[in-house]
Chains A and B, each alone.
With several copies, the nearest count.
Chain A
Amino acid sequence: MNPLNRLDLYKQMVRIRQYESRILQEYHADKKPAWDIGAGLIPGEMHLSAGQEPSAVGVCANLKQGDAITAPHRPHHFALAHGVDMNAMTAEIYGRDTGLCRGKGGHMHLFDPENHFSCSGIIAQGYPVACGQAMAFKRKGTDHVAVAVAGEGAANQGAFHESLNLASLWKLPVIFVIEDNDWAISVPRSHSTANASNADRASGYGMPGVRIENNDVEAVFEAAGVAIDRARAGGGPSLIEIHTLRLWGHFEGDAQAYRGADLDTLDARDPIPLYAATLAEIGDLSMDQVASIAADAAAEVDAAITFATSSPFPTADDALLHVFA
């Protein structure tokens, strides 16, 4: 297990939040006057991860080069925490030729083979793919692991079940991560899931399952460390459910009329100031550091956006390329 480095966890969370905040601005900036989802520098759906930084950061702090992640429609936090190049990722979100996928993928389809990172917009369908990556790692005799990420809503999709059974049966080095942010678009957990914790479902596949409350990055880090070590050692898969927080709408443009009182407590539950306070209390973080970490993150994100906006667009004819290798 990697040693716990609190400051690194904090920095990474801030970096991700800074990224999502700037994308939020940029996304909305030029969709007016009549708000048009297809218009602007960043068109299309946009699912931001603000509030969910602890899960990505806590998990990825245990990974090494060569480990894989399959993320869902809300992928930025895992991409950044896993080392996907911010410039190339941003250029992709801006639909540029310098993007990770030359503008073909977009924010829900970020593919970074160097970092074995991918995501998909279809609920829970990254789970089986991660099993296959884990198969490959095992067959090649490496100790790499594959991390499969999905939301609590996704845990009611058939692919979840098939993947957990397969991974356990074949003792594959997979860590199944469920980000429980209480909502699947407008549907609360209580209307989607018949039992209280997906961790309890793990025993039905003969694998360890743990649920982490309070959006606690250190608890995620510890639990992921145990699961990843186990997987590397040939002990097979584990499931980790993280009770996290969707600070913003499901996608941008979501008015969240359905959300009710839940909205009022959001600020108080924001994991980043909470973690900053914790670190300050134990003397691991000064006010100066808070400011400089924020400034560094802002500079990095600004540079990435500049890279993206100054990159060329693909041409219409490029659309015909890459159907087949």
Chain B
Amino acid sequence: MTTTETPTRRITTAKAMAEGIALEMRRDPGVFVMGEDVGAYGGIFGSTTDLFAEFGADRVIDTPISETGFIGAGIGAAVEGLRPVVELMFIDFYGVCMDQITNHMAKIHYESGGNVTVPMVLMAATGGGYSDAAQHSQCLWGTFAHLPGIKVVVPSNPYDAKGLMISAIQDDNPVLYLFHKGAQGLVWMEKNPRSIAHVPEESFTVPIGEAAVAREGTDVTIVTLSLSVQHSLDVAEQLVAEGISVEVIDLRSLVPLDTQTVLASVAKTGRVLVVDEDYRSFGLTGEIAAVIAEHDPMMLKKPFRRLAVPDVPIPYARVLEQGILPTRDKIAAGVRELMS
């Protein structure tokens, strides 16, 4: 064992999430998990893998298909001092429970004048790319980032997935934890090798509200998050051959948003492409534009560019869906246009 041991234990993003939860469950008996198929099944997208076996049905609770009911129950439990980790299977289902999320989970702390806290994690799968069509492929992080009172984190890789999960559970605020199905490293879905990576076994945190410079570069800044970070890193590597140096900013958190890291990069490159798998208008891409334009529009050597879903529902057929997703080809084209 000693000779073959490697310091790089490589695990999937899904496993990293579950590991983060398990560590917190061992540490704090107030942490429990609740959602549809989180028990024996282990979460449809693997977010609760192996938790049921270790913690049992009392702490890893399968629920009826009653999202308003069980998310509300999570809020009630959190208000009474527990730390529920609640899964909404797909973020697309937010519409059946949005009131609990945004009128209750998000607002109770404020409405109570700071007297009540809601230390709860709501996790949900996001994203498309595998022909799951209009009701099961959305990202919607812009929707939640717009509404005050919820921290919103969106990891792009196994390390951040674990560290952000631990931070989220320890946070005294409600945290919406959005994980992209395509970045989970699932055996049954096309995946980028970046979804399997070294993650330390022990507990560690990734601070909520700090973006990462996923790759340094000097010509163009790509501001992005989630699966699109993986695509953007691929593109950045590919464009080296064309002599283009791309900096990739992985936002990791939308609320709070790390505007300093974005502005520092744009100050350096003067060219910015925001890549977002959420809908284009009235969302993340606009917010980044505003952050820059408020600070100093003269930073931009070229007009601002954004690549996002062009305000259409996500279509089913692969050719249609690939047509509207921010694929590597479109990212590369966007970067090249900024350099032209």
Residues of A within 8 A of B (CB): 34-39, 43-45, 68, 70, 92, 95-96, 99-106, 108-109, 111, 113, 116, 118, 120-125, 127-137, 139-140, 146, 153-154, 156-159, 162-163, 165-166, 169, 184-187, 191-193, 253, 257-258, 313-325
With A38-B190, A105-B133, A323-B109 already in contact, the answer to whether A162 and B68 are too (CB < 8 A) is yes
Contact of A187 with B62 in the complex, beta carbons under 8 Å: yes
**B311 on the A face (CB < 8 A):** yes
Is B322 a contact partner of A316 (Cβ separation < 8 A)?
yes
Contact B116 A157 (CB under 8 A): no
Contact, CB under 8 Å: A128 / B190 = no
Are the CB atoms of A103 and B64 closer together than 8 Å?
no
Nearest first, the 6 closest Cβ-Cβ pairs linking A and B are A132-B76, A128-B72, A316-B323, A95-B317, A106-B316, A38-B130
Besides the known contacts A132-B77, A135-B76, 12 further A-B residue pairs in the complex with CB atoms under 8 A apart? A109-B316, A111-B112, A128-B73, A132-B72, A136-B77, A159-B99, A166-B66, A184-B36, A187-B36, A187-B37, A318-B323, A323-B148
A185 to chain B, nearest CB (A): 5
Whether the Cβ atoms of B135 and A120 lie closer than 8 Å is yes
- How many A-B pairs have beta carbons closer than 8 Å: the answer is 289
With known contacts A44-B131, A128-B75, A192-B64, A159–B136 Cβ distance under 8 A:
no
Interface residues of B (CB under 8 A from A): 32, 36-37, 39-41, 44, 62-82, 84, 92-93, 95-96, 99-100, 103-104, 108-117, 129-136, 148-149, 151, 172-173, 187-190, 310-313, 315-324
**A36 adjacent to B189 (CB under 8 Å):** yes
A323 touches B76 (CB 8 A): no
**A316 B320 Cβ-Cβ under 8 A:** yes
Let me know if A131 and B318 touch, CB within 8 A: no
Instruction: Give the distance in Å from the alpha carbon of A92 to the alpha carbon of B73 in the complex.
Output: 26
Complex-state Cα separation, A193 to B318, whole angstroms: 37
State which of B68, B190, B319 has its C-beta within 8 Å of the C-beta of A158: B68
Assuming A104-B315, A319-B312, is B112 touching A133 (CB within 8 A)? no
Q: Are A158 and B316 in contact (CB under 8 A)?
A: no
Cross-interface CB contact of B130 among A43, A101, A129, A131, cutoff 8 Å:
A43
Complex: how many Å from CA A191 to CA B188? 27
Nearest CB of chain A from residue B82's CB, rounded to whole Å: 5
Residue pairs across A and B with Cβ atoms less than 8 A apart, 26 shown, are A36-B189, A37-B189, A95-B131, A103-B317, A104-B317, A105-B133, A108-B136, A111-B116, A118-B79, A118-B112, A122-B96, A129-B73, A130-B76, A132-B79, A134-B76, A158-B68, A166-B66, A184-B36, A186-B37, A186-B39, A187-B64, A258-B41, A319-B321, A320-B324, A324-B151, A324-B173
Q: Is the CB of B188 within 8 A of A319?
A: no
Question: Is there an interface contact between B133 and A36, defined as CB atoms closer than 8 Å?
Answer: no
Please tell me if the beta carbons of A159 and B129 are within 8 angstroms of each other in the complex.
Answer: no
Instruction: Name the distance in Å between B31's Cβ and chain A's nearest Cβ.
Output: 11
Select one of A37, A113, A186, A319 contacting B315, CB under 8 A: A319
Docked CA distance A139–B28 (Å): 13
Cβ of A101 and Cβ of B65 under 8 Å apart?
no
Q: Are A153 and B72 in contact (CB under 8 A)?
A: no
| Alpha-carbon distance A268/B189, docked complex (angstroms) | 34
Residues of B within 8 A of A120 (CB): 103-104, 135
Q: How far is the CA of A211 from the CA of B249 in the complex (A)?
A: 57
A317–B77 touching, CB < 8 Å? no
In the complex, what distance in Å separates the CA atom of A322 from the CA atom of B149? 9
Whether B319 contacts A316 by the Cβ 8 Å rule is yes
Q: Which residues of A are found within 8 Å of B74, using beta-carbon distances?
A: 132
- A122 contacts B316, C-beta separation under 8 Å: no
**A129 touching B72 by the CB < 8 A rule?**
yes
Say yes or no: A38-B316 contact (C-beta < 8 A), given A105-B112, A131-B76, A186-B62.
no
In the complex, what residues of B have CB within 8 A of residue A128's CB? 68-73, 75-76, 100
A136 touches B317 (CB 8 A): no
